[in-house]
Amino acid sequence: MKANCFIAWLGQEQTQDIVDQLNQSAQVASVFVLAPQHVQLEGASCLKVDNLWSTQTMQQIAEAATSPYSLLLLAAKKLTIGQYALERMLQLAEGSDATLLYADYYEEKNGVLSPNPVIDYQEGSLRDDFNFGPAQLYRSDVLKTFESAVTANWHHAGYYALRLLASRMGEIRRVPELLFSMTETDTRLSGEKQFDYVQSSARERQREMEQACTVHLQKIGAFLKADFQTVTFEEGFPVEASVVIPVRNRIKTIKDAVDSVLNQKCQFNFNLIVVDNHSTDGTTELLQSYADERLIHLIPERKDLGIGGCWNEAVFHPQCGRFAIQLDSDDLYLDETTIQQVVDEFHKEQCAMVIGSYQMCNFKLEEIPPGIIDHREWTPENGPNNALRINGLGAPRAFYTPIFRSIRIPNTSYGEDYAMGLVISRKWKIGRIYKPIYRCRRWEDNSDASLDVYKVNAHNQYKDALRTFELKARIKMLKES
């Protein structure tokens, strides 16, 4: 069993090195270098491509593929092929009949070689930044099908559409073995990378990814039309709105957060429910020093609560208002109109959830890149579908209390808000405020400021699982409707 190999150009010397490594294997049928101009290398042919990730490039690869399998090495980074790595992948591919295989790898960063495991693919692994590692082995019939079936001329979303097609044609499988080594040139911390996709330069790419994902959802029977259930707001709440702040050991920031709530100017009564999850650093005493009757300071009896569990404590409290509005203990509202704007949006749109926009800032409240996060990739027509592709919905988040209580938020400390948003978007409208009403403060104590690969993987695996459950629920609902 042999494979055609397709590698991205990364300079004469380094590309030639990868070509030489590949040609040492008897399982390599041919090697093709994908380059923006014609290049000459020993043991390889050249495919001139304008963009590595476009529909046209994927179709060029498909046309050149003559063997049963095709190995794609498109990372354009220095790469070492592990001992019998291709032979191992071909062996597993033939035995499993997987449409796509990918593997764990070593990552070299600042001269240090470390294991970089990836995660298993799920039905809900729809985010376009899923890490398949530096090498993917496709069944070539997937490429051939793509060549004839995909007609959209995407500049950025061609590869994304290809792997979505692979998921529809069969199984995508991870090989939990370290088969390659790749030099990583992006050495930023996890907290510095997570907002790359919302920068203005990525807007065109985001639109294309949404289009490709929408096609996929339509083909698997999970596409939702903008046909939302009407929300009728009930009476009988103690106040119109409650701000909810879960907190544990945030003595440096909690006062700013609380004050930004108590300084709000509203045309209705509101309160603030702070769920103090057994702080030990002085946060509890600071909260107890407030004499404002609008502040409800709760210390749960339970000791097993994450952020989501604290939210449940607040929203099920008898003093919770008609709408529950989020504020993280690190953050603060942009000005004194935030609560009013959120409640106005609920009444204007008759929606079950409202999501605002926020300004990224440092501890001194100075704006930092990428600045304003407004999630303009969300549209009223397709937002509920695009929610299955993106990794977060924005902030601040606010919920109509009866619907929140009917669903309940997961007792986790990551992704709990995303889980609630996905379920709500299945049936009810989500309102959006596209101007900033919230300040998201980035500093060294943020929970996601610097995560190792295992924590990043755990977070991604959880959100993929949420998407998988939601995908299945939508398919079931649409079949039964």
| Whether pLDDT at 188 is above 50 | no
The pLDDT confidence band at residue 199, using thresholds 50, 70 and 90, is low
Coil vs helix vs strand at 408: coil
Q: Are strands 69-73 and 136-139 parallel, antiparallel or unpaired?
A: antiparallel
Torsion 291-293-297-301 (CA) sign: positive
CA distance 327 to 402: 19
> Which H or E element spans position 475?
helix 453-480
Position 443 scores a pLDDT of 80
The stretch 114-134 carries a mean pLDDT of 97
Position 255 scores a pLDDT of 97
The pLDDT confidence band at residue 406, using thresholds 50, 70 and 90, is very high
Position 236 scores a pLDDT of 97
Give the chain's radius of gyration (CA, Å): 25
Domains of the chain: 3-187 (3.90.550.10), 241-480 (3.90.550.10)
**397: closest CA among 479, 458, 337, 311?**
311
The pLDDT confidence band at residue 305, using thresholds 50, 70 and 90, is very high
Residue with tokens 């294991």: 115
CA distance 93 to 175: 10
Burial 453-479 (b: 16+ CB within 10 A, else e): eeebbebbebbbbbbbbbbeebbeeee
The pLDDT confidence band at residue 460, using thresholds 50, 70 and 90, is very high
**45: closest CA among 84, 82, 25, 15?**
15
C-alpha neighbours within 13 Å on the C-beta side of residue 140: 20
The stretch 59-75 carries a mean pLDDT of 97
**Identity (one letter) of the amino acid at 214?**
T
| Whether pLDDT at 380 is above 90 | no
Least confident among 158-172, 324-338, 447-461: 447-461
314, 247 contact by CB (below 8 A)? no
Q: For 91-118, how does the pLDDT look when each residue is reduced to its tens digit (9 = 90+)?
A: 999 999 999 999 999 999 888 999 999 9
Question: With pLDDT > 70 as the criterion, what percentage of the chain qualifies?
Answer: 95
CA distance 138 to 146: 12
Position 444 scores a pLDDT of 78
Burial 118-138 (b: 16+ CB within 10 A, else e): bbebbbbbbbbebbbbbbbbb
Backbone φ/ψ region at 179: left (φ over 0), alpha (ψ -120 to 50), beta: alpha
Position 449 scores a pLDDT of 58
